[in-house]
Amino acid sequence: MCKGLQQGRNASSSCLKEGGFSLSSNATRGSGLVKCELCKSRASLYCQADDAYLCRKCDKWVHGANFLAFRHIRCFLCNTCQNLTQRCLIGASHEVLLPTM
């Protein structure tokens, strides 16, 4: 279980670790750190359309390039365990909670 869930954080920021989602080979073994595909700093978002983990700076650069990329849905990573969360970003700054199925 994610430490963030154990500390009683709200449901909108909880990770989906128990839902069976796992990180790709991008995660560093042992530390659980997921690196940005472009700059190798700590990733904070995952874009399924691009199949890429990105930090906020690189996400803004990549998804600000054109109107099609701007519409990609990117999911935030849990700050504690680096797994996908239910919080997603569409466009520049609109955070939404997508229903889980």
Residue 24 lies in a domain: no
Residue 32 lies in a domain: no
Q: Tokens 């797994």 appear where?
A: 83
Residue 88 lies in a domain: yes
Long-range contacts of 33-40 (CB under 8 A, 24+ apart): 33/82, 34/77, 34/82, 38/62
Per-residue pLDDT reduced to its tens digit, 31-85: 578 999 999 999 999 999 999 999 999 998 999 888 888 889 999 999 999 999 9
Residue 1 lies in a domain: no
What does the alpha-carbon distance between residue 34 and residue 11 come to, in Å, rounded to a whole number?
Answer: 22
Residue 79 lies in a domain: yes
Number of domains the chain contains: 1
Residue 37 lies in a domain: no
Amino acid at 68: L
User: Is the entire prediction scored with pTM above 0.85?
Assistant: no
Residue 84 lies in a domain: yes
Segments forming the whole domain that contains residue 89: 45-97
Residue 16 lies in a domain: no
User: Which pair of tokens denotes residue 23?
Assistant: 């990180």
Reported as a pLDDT band with limits 50, 70 and 90, residue 12 is: very low
